[in-house]
Amino acid sequence: MAGPLAASAHAEPSSPATPDMPAELIQAITRDLKISPQDYLHRADVAQQVATFATTAQRQFPQAYAGAWLDETGKAIVALAPGDGTDAARKAAQDAGFTVKDVAKSESTLRGEKNAFQTWLKDQPADVSKSIRGVAIDAMNNTIAVRADKADLPLPGFVDPTRVIVMTAPPAGGESVDVPQAGDIAGAGPRQLAAGDSFASVAGRMSLRCSLGFNGTDGNGNVVNITAGHCNPNIAATPGANSPAVYQLAGSDTLGPQVGVFGKSVLGNEDYSIISVNDQSRDSFTNNLVRVPNAAPVAITGVAVPVVGAPVCKSGSRTGFSCGVVNAVDQTVQVGDRMLTQSFSANICALPGDSGGPIVTGTLALGISSASSVADYPICEIPNLIGLITGNTPQLFAQPVSTVLSDNPGLRVNTN
């Protein structure tokens, strides 16, 4: 978790003096990341360059590659362990313009330790297993990091005690209270709806308020929206004739027109929903936009994968744009009574109502907001201030969009 970020050590990209971003996003970048919008775009681009390198290195140099990330200045670091292919991997990383860090363990070794930890955990007594909130590979420290509700737990010898992150309560999605249901707005028609706008999901007398995620199309060309699984109040009825309905919201608690139904929802190791948009609302969801509700948008140009240290910003219908950096990827974390796997996290505050909303890096679609460590707070200013004092900053846990697309062949996010 990085604090205020220094200026990038890389040369500034040849981008406009004022990037084509909404004022609300620029404000969040400068406030939360302490960098310019130009540097934000540059670092996001560097993160995807190192991600592409990592994909190749994992395949070509499995005994040497040990992870990659962006440091506090935005510089790309590639870690290499001694082993077959180390010299070739070093040359490839340096030729790509990345800085090499020598470490003891390869990523495959760390992944083995993560798997061994999860196997070890299955045999532990309840007082130990219930205290573990999750585990992730910590490439920056060449170890695995464990989230727990206290620091003095008995752990396997290969776990560095200094990498136990205390999390007194598991993160929560937060959408557990019904939205008051007013009558439909007479004569109101669908309007353009973008990622970050609010919606209500309704199943019988139960309704939840969430944020729309990225607009897209499925494998059959149908218009859809990708949001959180836990925003569906009746997953058991999905899909089917009784699948919960999705409504546009006007204000905080007034139902507008129905815009679709939940076509698919997954809640367990993953957390995502695919909303099937009805014919009357198709034109409202054909855009590729992310915004704070009722404000100017930013256009999505592609899809990204999470990289530690990458700058990211979320939009939610309750708290709008806020930004941070990715601090863990491919992690397992307890959310309520389930384990979210393959998730990533960032030091960003999100509150109930933000769930399902988009997380971007640069102008690329990155994730869907899933759970927050500070969902019980009424406003973000309180946990943000506590974080400044204690170092225990808010954490937003997210579902990678790339995983959702991989799970659903033909599903696409709308881009330029």
* Catalytic residue list: 230, 271, 355
Are 277 and 260 in contact by the 8 Å Cβ rule? The answer is yes
Are 226 and 272 in contact by the 8 Å Cβ rule? The answer is yes
Q: By CB neighbour count within 10 A (0-12 exposed, 13-18 middle, 19+ buried), where does 253 fall?
A: middle
- ∠ CA 316-370-175, rounded to 5°: 75
Q: Show Cβ contacts of residue 283 under 8 Å, excluding neighbours closer than 6 positions.
A: 190, 192
β-pairing verdict for 297-299 and 311-316:
unpaired
DSSP string, 93-146: HHHTTPEEEE-SS-HHHHHHHHHHHHHHHHTS-HHHHTTEEEEEEEGGGTEEEE
CA–CA gap between residue 245 and residue 237 (Å, rounded): 11
DSSP letter (8 states) at residue 295: S
The phi and psi torsions of 192 (rounded to 5 degrees) equal: -65, 130
User: Cα–chain-centroid distance for residue 352?
Assistant: 15
Are 74 and 99 in contact by the 8 Å Cβ rule? The answer is no
CA–CA gap between residue 241 and residue 276 (Å, rounded): 13
- How many CB atoms within 10 Å of residue 150? 10
